[in-house]
Amino acid sequence: MKAKELRDMTDEGLAEELLKLRREQFNLRMQSATGQGAKPDQHGKVRKDIARIKTVLTERASKKGDER
């Protein structure tokens, strides 16, 4: 997912996407722990997507703080 796509989303949409990615990260961790890790490249992708969403949310929070 690109940062531009994330910036176009609403805060609620970002929160939903973050929750979905955290669940996927948990599932990947469980698959890896049980020896079923079929997609080892997904770990990095999911982690980076989570970081992108958190970055966008932090940028928005700081902009709201600056406007006050």
Rg (CA), the chain: 14
More confident residue, 63 or 22: 22
Residues 1 and 15: beta-carbon distance below 8 Å: no
How far from chain centre, in Å, is Cα 6? 10
Residue 65's pLDDT band (boundaries 50, 70, 90)?
Answer: confident
Q: By residue range, what is the domain housing residue 50?
A: 3-67
Residue type, 19: L
Give CA–CA dist 44/7, Å, rounded.
Answer: 21
We report the CATH number of the domain holding residue 26 as 1.10.287.310
pLDDT at 2: 85
Q: In this predicted model, what pLDDT tens digit does every residue of 11-55 receive, in sequence order?
A: 999 999 999 999 999 999 999 899 887 788 899 999 999 999 999
Q: Please tell me the distance from the alpha carbon of residue 63 to that of residue 44, in angstroms, as a whole number.
A: 29
Identify the pLDDT of residue 68. 64
Number of domains in the chain: 1
